[in-house]
Structure 1
Amino acid sequence: MMLHLDWGLSAFLIFGMLLLLIATGMPVSLAMIATVIVGMLLFVSPQALSMLPQIAFEKASDQLFSVIPLFVMMAIVATSSGVTEKAFGAAQAWFGRLPGSLAVSSQAAATVFAAISGSSPATAAAVGYFAIPEMTKNGYKKSFAVGAVAAGGTLGILIPPSVAMIIFGLVTETSIGSLFIAGILPGIMMALLLAIFVILAVKMKPELAPRTDVRYTLSEKVKSLAGLWPIAVLFVAVIGSIYSGIATPTEAAAVGAVGALILALINRTLTLKGLYAALKESAETTAMVIMLVIGGFGLSFLFARLGIARGISSFITDSGMAPTAVLAFMIVVLLLLGTVLDPVSLIVITMPLFFPVLMGLGFDPIWIGVIVTIAVEIGMVTPPVGLNLLILKNAVPGGAKMSELFKGILPFVGVLLFGLLLIVFIPAIATWLPAMMANR
């Protein structure tokens, strides 16, 4: 016997079930799929369950989905060349005389690594396990060192290629290529804001970071950039091919993966063991994401059948709520849920509800994509969970209390929120480059 409830009560029961399953420790993807199955049986019909295998087949066979394993493989293979250390060394050569130079250098290295990573935790870990011991050795306060790297790590899902943007594009059917292009200027802006904050913070509180005034000649500075040419080549090949219209995101991802393999062979930095590890991690990441996508589209189908998405849209429209208030509400929800959910899970769960409403209010989907990406990345460094902080805790020599790390990250969260507000009030920061691409 099917239960016939109004959309509000149905939404309450479905979300309550989902959150309860997640709270038990069940993987988010399995919790979503279990919620869909129970929801179908209770509120729709057993026959509706046939939609799940159909969704799984359609999404897994979608050509766009192959973007994810290709970009993951590109990042892993390129990382094997030691690009993190090279990027940190180059940044130190160029920024060594600035206040908080090691922290600024770690963020510059994170910016470079983000151009091939696509993942916030991967960026934070790759930079942090090298930079944090160096900073603490030179007298930097532990909480400040971890805060600087954790915040810099968030650039991994903003500067393209970005796994979060790929998922947003898949779930909302928004152009992934345009999202990638849209993330460039906001990513650079965020990197500059973080660096400026570090410099100002150290000027006001020198005890945070003793000066390491190491001088480099112009020749040494130029030479330090030599190790970064593979990353520059890959970034230009991937983003340049998308921007110019030569390649689709999927084709550009293939170019990036093949290019990374060629560069690794030229530099002799990739072994058979390393290649196996790259293929294995690419497969594992793809399997994890496809499960999330299946669960997300299953929830989207359930929401549509029960009229939840339509009900929310009608409620907001009839309430007379200003479009900006709706946008602000979404951002708050993403910031709060981002403290306990990873970006991919959060996007898959929330966008089927929020995105149609925002499109009905006339917002630019590319702009919304950038706002959502920044909001979920802030959750990666926000207490009480802060995944990036948990990852970096073990990188601190001698260890550190989580309360100390939370205290260190809060000012950086403020900087990231300020950057988010700039994007909200100045949409052109995110939309100008994609518009230029469309007009070519």
Structure 2
Amino acid sequence: MISDPLVLSIVLIFIMFVFLLSSIWIGVSLILTGIVGMLIFENNLPPVISIFDKIGDLLASSMYDSLNSWSLAALPIFILMGEILYKSSISTRLLNGLTPWLNFVPGKLLHVNVAACSLFAAISGSSSATTATVGKITLDELKKRGYSKSLALGSLAGSGTLGFLIPPSLIMIIYGVLSNVSIGKLFMAGILPGLLLATLYSVYIMIVSRIDKSVVPEENVKYTMNDYIHSLKDLFPVFSLILVVLGSIYGGLATPTEAASLGVLGAVVLAVYFKSFTFDVMKNALLNTIKTSIMISFIIVGAGFLSQVVGFLGIARAISEFIGTLGLSPLMLILIIGVMYIILGMILDGISIVVMTLPIVLPIIVMAGFDPLWFGIFLVFMVELSQITPPVGFSLFVIQSISGEKIEYILKATLPFFLLMIVAVVLITFFPEIVQFLPKYMTAK
């Protein structure tokens, strides 16, 4: 019987890849991995757990714990908002309105994913909701207009992770509670890194579009001042909707879930205003919302069950304690911890990563001289990376559900944006002022 938790983690990852490569549903693969892990490593579990008697109880409790969160209520509502915007003509109008303004920027409408995800991230605080909502609006339109499918998918996967970095953020709240760091300061600290990451994505899109002309359709269109003014008629209603949702949150008038409901109401009003709202539009929007929400919830349930199994096996704690015994330099320590989190992101959801490892990792980080506020943003980046890291990358499977593309194709398209996120992590590591500037400035005022 294997007893080394480090070896257990490798074996468990191998088992998971076997299930995933067998084309079994993602949620089922995660649950089966957890069950097989419990059966194989029975001797590593606490005595209170009797394998054959307790697997069902553990699965049931983990399903309830994973989905019993009020913050998750915003997810299907935001998805419904995106579906209504997508099924009606509003999404087409949005892209038509943006076209003149982005025409002079290399990459043109490929920047829509970055801009839209940055805006929706400030609404939902959830990477899954951001990816699903924006993806429903933009992917088909970009494909119809002849833009690169690979770059559209990759930019959506990368930009969708901004839901955790641009406040409000569920991960920041959890970290603040566990580390006694001000949640308000964490929110402020995430703004500049979020803008930095969005800028890196846009710069990459510009460079690629300059090198490879095929990623953007050839359009020799010159726009007049009247075209710009006319485009505002398409843009103003949509931006008004975003401002209402954002304003209700930051004005303290509504929670994200309540703001999502306002967003759905506003989307319906806009669809009626543009004369594109029908019974079929609403029916299809509701059906697709149910399908997408169930798919995401099933993955969350599977990840929650696997996380509990990993916790019982002691894998996360063992890896953290092992790193603490190495006596590394501060930069080497943060490098090893970053690699550890990327590996954990392959088998755990973001919240589980934070909750399981923080009690061990944070004291090590503080002793090494790192600012807990800075480490909170670093940890958010690590959680973002887990969103686009196979095999348990939620954003990847959300995009797969929306686009119907093979996961291998999505992974290839996402790789450049994964690397850009690592570049952003390196920048905030060598220039921590990027994280610390706004909290210090606002506190000084």
Structure-2-length-normalised TM-score: 0.71
Q: CA RMSD in A?
A: 4.8
Whether 1:111 aligns to 2:115 is: yes
Alignment of 1:185-196 (within 5 A): 185-196=192-203
* Deviation for aligned residue 1:303: 3.0
Report the number of matched residues.
Answer: 411
- Alpha-carbon contact 1:230-1:263 (below 8 Å) kept: yes
Amino acid at match of 1:85: T
- Alpha-carbon contact 2:317-2:357 (below 8 Å) kept: no
* Deviation for aligned residue 1:76: 1.1
1:274 pairs with one of 262, 278, 281: 281
Amino acid at match of 1:418: V
Distance 1:91 1:354 in 2: 43
Post-superposition CA distance 1:41-75 (Å, at most 9, x none): 42453344323212222333322221211111111
- The residue that corresponds to 2:142 in the other structure is 131
- Alpha-carbon contact 1:158-1:187 (below 8 Å) kept: no
- The residue that corresponds to 1:142 in the other structure is none
Distance 2:96 2:201 in 1: 19
Distance 1:90 1:7 in 2: 55
Distance 1:171 1:48 in 2: 29
* Deviation for aligned residue 1:275: 1.8
Amino acid at match of 1:236: L
Change (3 A) 1:16 1:178: farther
- Alpha-carbon contact 2:132-2:398 (below 8 Å) kept: yes
Distance 1:299 1:166 in 2: 23
Post-superposition CA distance 1:291-324 (Å, at most 9, x none): 3333333233323333333222211111123564
SS at match of 1:214: coil
Distance 1:168 1:378 in 2: 16
Distance 2:418 2:62 in 1: 37
Alignment of 1:142-157 (within 5 A): 145-154=148-157, 156-157=159-160
List runs of 5+ in structure 2 lacking aligned partners: 121-127, 367-371, 391-395
Percent identity reads 22
- The residue that corresponds to 1:11 in the other structure is 9
Change (3 A) 1:53 1:97: closer
Alignment of 1:88-237 (within 5 A): 88-98=95-105, 100=106, 103-108=107-112, 111-112=115-116, 115-116=119-120, 118-120=129-131, 123=134, 126-132=137-143, 134-135=145-146, 145-154=148-157, 156-160=159-163, 185-199=192-206, 212=219, 214-237=221-244
Structure-1-length-normalised TM-score: 0.71
Whether 1:80 aligns to 2:87 is: yes
Distance 2:288 2:397 in 1: 19
2:423 pairs with one of 418, 423, 426: 418
- Alpha-carbon contact 2:157-2:414 (below 8 Å) kept: no
Whether 1:375 aligns to 2:385 is: yes
- The residue that corresponds to 1:297 in the other structure is 304
* Deviation for aligned residue 1:371: 0.9
* Deviation for aligned residue 1:89: 2.7
* Deviation for aligned residue 1:438: 10
Post-superposition CA distance 1:301-358 (Å, at most 9, x none): 32333333322221111112356445434655777899xx7xx976478556555554
Distance 1:347 1:153 in 2: 19
* Deviation for aligned residue 1:261: 2.9
- Alpha-carbon contact 1:17-1:35 (below 8 Å) kept: yes
List runs of 5+ in structure 1 lacking aligned partners: 137-144, 381-385, 396-401
* Deviation for aligned residue 1:204: 6.8
